[in-house]
Structure 1
Amino acid sequence: MATNKELLAKGVKYLFGALPLMFIGPSIMYNAFMNKQNNLHYLVLILGCTICLVSVFLAFKGLKTITDALFNDK
């Protein structure tokens, strides 16, 4: 059972891409909740939620890619 190193590296890149977004998204959401008097409150909140969702998507895609690289039986 050999490991596909190119696919493994691609999965790790997805996880490293998701890592900063996991911290940026909640920070933007916190900023939106603290500045409710601003008119752009909802736009900033939607941006923070979108960044959080992209982070979760990249994390799952990275984990799936890593498991495919480790357990592929070709």
Structure 2
Amino acid sequence: MEEDHKTDKDILIKGLKRLGICLLLMFTGPTLLHLALDNSDKPLYIPLLILALILCAMAILFLFLGINTIMKSMFKKN
């Protein structure tokens, strides 16, 4: 039997959107982290630091989810 391996376009676009969100978070998180660590004497130091760390963690999560979704769209068996 011949297996048909076609890329599912809808799932691929979903994965690319997740990678786009990841790219945005990869710039925003470290930038906020740098701003927070440079201004450690300001009153918003702790909330900004927490927000920056959450954004960095979300960037890693969206990277994993995006790559996983793209792999599913390419190698899923119908």
CA RMSD of aligned residues (A): 0.7
Amino acid at match of 1:18: C
TM-score (normalizing by structure 1): 0.95
Deviation per CA, 1:1-54, whole angstroms, max 9, x where unpaired? Answer: 111111001000100111011011001000010001112211100000001111
How does the TM-score come out when normalised to structure 2? 0.91
Among all aligned residue pairs of Structure 1 and Structure 2, give the percentage whose two residues are the same amino acid: 34
1:50 is aligned to 2:54: yes
The 3-state SS of whatever aligns with 1:44 is helix
Give the number of equivalent residue pairs.
74
Structure 1 segments, 4+ long, off by >2 Å, are none
- 1:40 is matched with which residue? 44
- Counterpart of 1:70 (choices 53, 59, 74) is 74
